[in-house]
Amino acid sequence: MEKKVILIKDTGFKSDTTRDIQSLFLKAIRDIGAEESIQIVRAADLGIYNQGVVVKILPDNTVYTHINSDNIDQIVKAVHKGEVLENLLLKDRVEQTRIVLRNCGVIDPENIEEYFSKGGYTSIAKCLFDLTPAKVIKEMKKSGLRGRGGAGFPTWMKWSFAANSFGDEKYVICNADEGDPGAYMDRSVLEGDPHSVIEGMTIAGYAIGAKHGYFYIRAEYPLAIERVENALKQAYERGLLGKNILGSDFSFDLEIRLGAGAFVCGEETALIASIEGKRGTPNPRPPYPTDSGLWKKPSIINNVETLANISAIFQKGGDWFSSIGTEKSKGTKVFAVTGKVKNSGLVEIAMGTSIKDIVYNIGGGVLNEKQLVAVQTGGPSGGVIPKKHLDTPVSYEHLQELGSIMGSGGMIVMDEDDCMVDISKFYLKFCVDESCGKCAPCRIGGYQMLSILNKISEGEGELEDMDKLHRISQAMQKASLCALGQTAPNPVISTLRYFEDEYKQHIIDKKCRAGKCSKLIQYTINPDKCKRCRLCVTNCPVSAITGDREHGYTIDQEKCIRCGRCFEVCKFEAIARV
Amino acid sequence: MVKAKINGITVNVPEGTTILEAAEKVQIKIPTLCKHPDLPPTASCGICIVKLVGSNKMLRACCTPIEENMDIITHDPEIVEVRRTVIELILSKHPNECLTCGRNGNCELQKLAEEFGIRTSAFQQFLPDIPPDTSTGTIVLEPRKCISCGRCVTVCQQNQNVWALCFMDRGFGTRISPAGDGVSLSESPCVKCGQCSAHCPTGAIFENDDTAKVWKALQDKDTYCAVQIAPAVRVAIGEAFGYKPGANLTKKIYAALRRMGFNAVFDTNFGADVTIVEEASEFVQRFTETPEKLPLITSCCPSWVDFMEKFHPDMKENFSSCKSPHAIVGVLAKTFFAKKRRIDPANMFVLSVMPCTSKKYEITRSDEMYSSGYQDVDVSITTRELARMIKQAGININDISEEEPDHVLGEYSGAATIFGVTGGVMEAALRTAYDYITGGKLKNVEFENVRGIEGVKEGAIPVNGFTVKVAVAHGLSNVEYVLNKVKEAKRAGKELPYHFIEVMACPGGCIGGGGQPYGITDEIRKKRGEGLYDEDHNCKLRYSHENPFVKKLYEEFLDKPLSEQSHHLLHTTYVKRPEYQK
């Protein structure tokens, strides 16, 4: 009998109970003595969101949603017998275009055979035996694939520079130092389909004439590291890595290097310094890594998502790939959609899909039926896109025109409860914390901007602060050494561009529309609505609410820390936020 | 060659030339703060940005090689505005203490702020609360004044291979520090060479100012004040008074020191002649009697000694035990000279003026530095400190008449004066050693192959049918190559690659020392070196052992080189020291 695999994923918004569910499944399997025929695997992403705990049965591809402890025995028995449980089946799935995530949640990532069953490693075979390195690059050019790490540099061009660069050694580096807040597509690919990345790197190695490659994975991704290690072992065992791959003349070795958690090490020259054992700070370019990279040898650094596209391109052809997407942005892009959206999670869509479609059709719309105000893309280097531009198709150029970027694919939906000054502060603080400190504009400029934003959000802002923000932004954009500093002001610039009134409201009226800036708000109790239930009194962490049932309750503004707890717990809307 | 345009002016420069260098060729000065002409670019300040016509981005001129057909704009209102903002940002994290700062008047940040006409503090000041590190007594690290340009880290790690300084923390909290939390500079591998202080654009790394001690001694009527100046000081101090690099001010300095109130003005060069007599005797002894103790390695440079004691203690037997020239003048002043003049050495104050910060450390480094019964050299100040003292004393050095040094520790040979430049100690020692071994004179006393600013220089001199192989290294990063060759040969039981090795810690030798006037480049090193070689060339006396006062010293006081008395007063010992003391 064919072995069945049950993939589990908790797609819930807040909790992750995958581990607990896994042990319940294991117990159920043991109970019926099916350990040999049913295997349990925790999945990083199944492409299904907000459906509670979801399991997918392989190879049948049956998906059950909203699993709880009551129906685990039932599922295990059904799997064992080969039956289908109609009542738990997934309904109304929204289709995405899955190239990068094609195998994630579909195959067992720990089993190379399953990758083979999806056509895995046929692309490297095709490249090695049917194509010269130059033809490989030509096919890449045809595909139009551009780097998914953020900047969108044409991948074929990078490869071609490295291929034409002289060096006795060359290197292929997979940049898996994913660090944008909220983005986890790279982790998902490494956890769900590590072989596709290995195959992509091997093809890259063949194309540029490299014999060695490195996975640079952030150490905070233990499962991804484990899966890649396992996949490397299997690939070596099958002769897909190492000497004379598949009997060809091409030899290629891959090893893993761990990143110690500095965001800036995602910048290619800093990444190289980190692999070389130096302090992870960027270096000026030129020389570009394709001329003088790791150990001063020609090197290419490609992002995980970029590399995961490669084998698909060679399976189906560059023309097929370029038929997807817009004129200048080909293929698909994975977004990590989060924020005030009903279905948050990873979404892979064809380039050119509108932001509206992502938010409303795939994401299911705004949570709690609130008003969407803006969508933030591109993480800390990106910007906000206000509601009026929601029809914009997703592509490198379109997003840039709006003052944002594709970045690594973060997408945060913001509603009327989000404050733009607060959002700027959040992203800027991230870059200030992550600045390596090497160059003055970024090191000091970011800190100064953050202190100005803090001032504004605390009601201490002056109108000239907005000029200062513009001035420092300009200096950072023009004079910072690397992309971190050059793009760090983007969230501030774009919110200033689209939501200048909101800044002015903070500065002149000393008000925060969204009620996020705690120094600018006050909570008061409306005695007419108050039912004197004392719920607010018991929930106040600083005992700022006093009074009694007879005379009613008041909030001591001196003591109040504006945490909003009373506002949240009151069932009668008796707490007012002004 | 690359052809490009800068501000519309066509330039033709060799491939690899940076935009900054190319602009200089057509009389355009692009402002920089982190780039030092002596060091590779650190690309950290962001002030040298320029525009490419048709591009939205700005490039750093300091590290971007100019390319064919580039059309560059170096100055326009937008660029100047960005530069001004960056300078203002840097100033927002730098204390406004110019008036009381050691770099007041020659600070590169201050100069830039002046050029850009910055009149107000545009941004809120945020100053880190990090106390100064005065632990070494030689250089003072003041991280509050640091602008994180990275020059000191580059010299310490790349040029000197010491790795005492590094960047700690990140982002706004980035600071220069010895590696490891809570480690002070004196507990770090720091060898006190002071190259960091000579390259620092601000007052963040500054020599420990000992001038107050000197003024105090000069005020005390009961103290007999003696002073000596090192060879390299004479050809560099002029730069602080508008002279060209290499101008030899020896006799003007004597006069100035006398006016400042020193009772006796000596010259460290006399000590250098004694060092050579002792060291050449040591070499001859090892060469003829105990060849297993070869190679002999020079030990005049205290930073090099410190480096060896920390990183190569297995080589300490190869070190010349002879003290450095200023220590010799110190001990002889308080013994030989004091006795002759019937001065109580207890009431003597000996100052040495050195191109060096490390000499401040050397004067108390071991018990042998007290062999007169007192501290042999009481205070050591740098060239930069003496220049300030001369200004404080109101002496017009340009017009002052030349004077002679005092007997009996003042006269010197040409061999002594070249001690101040890389290869000079070797050359001086070879002149004397050749005479000692062969009993004859060299045809040509000038050893061209140990001269020049190449990092490692090698040479071979035929002596009595035998070839003496020598190596000269300067800049501590060049030492490993030489020592590794020796160690490999010893391990393999092969013939020694060198018999005699000279090392000076600072690139160029003492003329490029950490206590010399600011703005060092290879061009300036060459000029200062030429200043010393010219003096040697014009000296009647070219051999240390022929200095009549040295002869007299041995006749009257020391007996002969390597005598018991010499060993007691003129030699020292070495110990293994930990790289980190914490």
- Look at residue A304 and tell me if it is in a domain: yes
Confidence category of residue A446, pLDDT binned at 50, 70, 90: very high
Q: Report d(CA B334, CA B474) in Å as an integer.
A: 32
In the predicted structure, residue A521 carries a pLDDT above the cut 70: yes
pLDDT at A286: 87
Quick one: fold of B98-207? Alpha-Beta Plaits (3.30.70)
**A369 and A408 inside one domain:** yes
pLDDT at A419: 96
Using the predicted structure, report yes or no on whether residue A271 has a pLDDT greater than 60: yes
pLDDT at A187 > cutoff 60: yes
Q: How confident is the model at residue A361 (pLDDT cuts 50, 70, 90)?
A: confident
Residue in chain A closest to B64 (alpha carbons) equals A286
C-alpha–C-alpha distance, residues B450 and B447, integer Å: 6
Q: Rounded to a whole number, what is the distance in Å from the CA of B99 to chain A's nearest CA?
A: 24
**Which value, to the nearest 10 degrees, does the dihedral of the CA atoms of residues B169, B173, B177, B183 take?**
-70
Name the pLDDT band for A15 (thresholds 50, 70, 90). Answer: low
Q: Mark residue A33 as left, alpha or beta (left: phi above 0; alpha: psi -120 to 50; beta: remaining).
A: left
Q: Is the pLDDT of residue A2 over 70?
A: no
Q: Are residues A167 and A279 in the same domain?
A: yes
Instruction: Give the CATH number for residue A135.
Output: 3.40.50.11540
> What is the C-alpha to C-alpha distance for residues B467 and B334, in angstroms, rounded to an integer?
41
How far is Cα A228 from Cα A255, in angstroms, rounded to an integer? Answer: 10
Q: Specify which residues B474 forms β-bridges with.
A: B504
Is the same domain home to A124 and A243?
yes
Q: Which conformational region is residue A214 in: left (phi greater than 0), alpha (psi within -120 to 50 degrees), or beta?
A: beta
Where in chain B do CATH 3.10.20.740 domains reside?
Answer: 2-75
How many angstroms separate the CA atoms of A234 and B51, rounded? 51
Verify that A230 and A295 share a domain, yes or no. yes
Per-residue pLDDT tens for B341-386?
A: 999 999 999 999 999 999 999 999 999 999 999 999 999 999 999 9
Instruction: Pull the structure tokens for residue A76.
Output: 């295990």
Selected residue of B15, B44, B60 to mutate for chain A interface (largest A Cβ count, 10 A): B44
* Helices B108-115 and B77-91: angle between axes, nearest 10 degrees: 140
In a domain, A443, yes or no: yes
CA distances (Å), origin B203, targets B174, B381, B417:
17, 17, 31
Sorted by sequence, the CB contacts under 8 Å of residue B430 that are 6+ apart come out as B442, B447, B461, B468, B470, B500
* Active site (catalytic) residues of B: 279, 282, 300, 320, 359, 362, 368, 510
Separation between Cα atoms, residue A90 and residue A107, nearest integer Å: 18
Give one DSSP letter per residue of A319-384, joined into a string. HHHHTSB-SSSBSEEEEEEEESBSS-EEEEEETT-BHHIIIIIIS-SBGGG--EEEEEESGGG-EE
- The total of structural domains in chain A comes to 5
Alpha carbon distance B91, B86 (integer Å): 9
Between A105 and B324, where is the model more confident? Answer: B324
Pairing of strands B58-60, A552-555: unpaired
What does DSSP say about strands A332-339 and A345-350: parallel, antiparallel, or unpaired? antiparallel
**Residues of B at the A interface, defined by Cβ within 8 angstroms:** 41-47, 49, 57-58, 60, 63-65, 81-83, 85-86, 89-90, 92-93, 122-124, 126, 147-148, 150, 166-167, 169-174
In chain B, whose CA is at the least distance from the CA of A285? B64
Has residue A368 been placed in a domain? Answer: yes
Among residues B396, B423, B577, B407, the alpha carbon closest in space to that of B502 is found at B423
Q: What does chain A come to in residues? A: 578
Contact residues for A407 (Cβ-Cβ < 8 A; gap 6+) = A150, A180, A183, A377, A378, A379, A381, A382
Region of residue B127 (phi > 0: left; psi between -120 and 50: alpha; otherwise: beta)? beta
Cβ atoms A81, A1 nearer than 8 A: no
CB B480 within 8 A of CB B161: yes
Same domain, A41 and A168: no
Residue B37 pairs in a beta bridge with none
Which residues does chain A have within 8 Å of residue B35's beta carbon, measured at their own beta carbons? none
User: For residues B582 and A163, which has the higher predicted lDDT (pLDDT)?
Assistant: A163
Contact B171 A447 (CB under 8 A): yes
Residues of chain B with pLDDT under 70: none
- How far apart CA A336 and CA A286 sit, in angstroms, is 33
Spatial neighbors of B452 by CB under 8 A, at least 6 apart, are B423
Question: What is the C-alpha separation between A256 and A549, in angstroms, rounded?
Answer: 66
Please indicate, yes or no, if residue A226 is contained in any of the structural domains: yes
Minimal CA–CA distance to B180: which of B190, B166, B193? B166
- Kindly list the strands in the beta sheet with B224-229, ordered across the sheet, starting from the edge strand earlier in the chain: B264-267, B224-229, B348-354, B379-382
Would you call A39 exposed, middle or buried from its count of C-beta atoms within 10 A (0-12, 13-18, 19+)? Answer: middle
**Among A72, A88, A104, residue at a domain's last position:** A88
Tokens representing residue B194 in the block: 């002071």
Inter-residue contact A197 to A174 (CB < 8 Å): yes
Quick one: which of B405, B350, B360 has its CA closest to B381?
A: B360
- The pLDDT, as a whole number, for residue A344 is 86
Interface test with A, best of B123, B147, B153, B175 (most A CBs within 10 A): B123
First to last CA, chain A: 67
The label of the residue with tokens 């070795």 reads A253
- B493 CB-near residues (< 8 Å, 6+ apart): none
As a whole number, mean pLDDT of residues A245-257 equals 96
Encoded tokens for A254 = 């891959």
Residue spans in chain B of domains classed CATH 3.30.70.20: 98-207
DSSP string, A425-466: HHHHHHHHHH--S-SHHHHHHHHHHHHHHHHHHTT---HHHH
Residue A102 domain-assigned (yes or no): no
Distance, CA of B554 to CA of B566 (rounded, Å): 9
Instruction: Tell me how close the Cα of B281 comes to any Cα of chain A, in angstroms.
Output: 46
Q: Would you state the torsion angle of the CA atoms of residues B445, B451, B457, B463, taken in this order, to the nearest 10 degrees?
A: 0
Q: Which pLDDT does position A95 carry in this prediction?
A: 66
Do A408 and A424 share a structural domain?
Answer: no
**Which of residues A274, A300, A322 is at a domain's end?**
A322
Residue of A nearest to B82 (CA): A475
Q: Could you tell me which chain B residue has the CA closest to the CA of A467?
A: B122
Q: Is residue A202 part of a domain?
A: yes
User: How distant is the Cα of B128 from the closest Cα of chain A, in angstroms?
Assistant: 12
B409, B333 Cβ separation under 8 angstroms? yes
- Please report whether residue A433 resides in a domain: yes
A 10 A CB-CB count for B176 gives 26
Same domain (yes/no): A448, A429:
yes
CATH assignment at residue A427:
1.20.1440.230
pLDDT of the residue at B181: 80
Residue of A539, A442, A430, A527 lying closest to A486 (CA atoms): A442
What residue type is assigned to position A488 of the chain? A
Q: How far apart are CA A29 and CA A25, in angstroms?
A: 6
pLDDT of residue A14 exceeding 70:
no
Query: From residue A366, how far is each of A344, A370, A516, B346 by CA, in Å?
Result: 10, 6, 19, 89
Q: How far apart are CA B422 and CA B511, in angstroms?
A: 8
- Residue A494: CB atoms within 10 A of its CB come to 26
* Predicted ipTM of the assembly: 0.92
CA B235, CA A219: separation in Å to the nearest integer?
Answer: 56
Q: Which of B46, B167, B169 sits opposite A439 (nearest CB)?
A: B46
My answer on whether A468 and A570 are in the same domain is no
pLDDT (average), residues A370-382: 93
Q: Do A468 and B123 touch (CB under 8 A)?
A: yes
Confidence of residue A532 (pLDDT cuts 50, 70, 90): very high
Question: Helix, strand, or coil here: B249?
Answer: coil
What are the start and end residues of each CATH 3.40.50.1780 domain in chain B? Answer: 212-570
Instruction: Determine which of A224-238, A400-414, B57-71 has the lowest per-residue pLDDT on average.
Output: A400-414
Mean pLDDT of A217-224: 94
Is residue A216 predicted with pLDDT exceeding 80?
yes
Q: Which of A322, A352, A367 is the last residue of a domain?
A: A322
Do A403 and A483 lie in one domain? The reply is no
Question: Residue type at A99?
Answer: I
SS3 B197: helix
Indicate the class that CATH gives domain B212-570.
Answer: alpha beta
Judged by CB atoms closer than 8 Å, whether chains meet at B47 and A479 is answered as yes
CATH number at residue A361: 3.10.20.600
Q: State the CATH architecture for B2-75.
A: Roll (3.10)
Examine the domain organization and report whether A178 and A118 are in the same domain: yes
Same domain, residue pair A473 and A531 = no
Flag whether A465 is in a domain.
yes
Start-end of H helices in B439-547: 479-492, 522-537
CATH number at residue A572: 3.30.70.20
Confidence grade of residue A305 (pLDDT, cut at 50, 70, 90): very high
User: Are A438 and B64 inside 8 Å of each other by CB?
Assistant: no
Structural domain of residue A566, as residue ranges?
522-577
Q: Is the pLDDT of residue A32 over 90?
A: no
* Per-residue model confidence as pLDDT tens digits over B9-47: 999 999 999 999 999 999 999 999 999 999 999 999 999
Q: What is the nearest CA distance from B160 to chain A, expressed in angstroms?
A: 17
What residue has token string 């345009």?
Answer: B5
Residues facing B4 on adjacent strands: B11
pTM of the model: 0.89
Same domain, A266 and A384: no
- Give the domain CATH number at A62: 3.40.30.10
A365: tokens are 């719309």
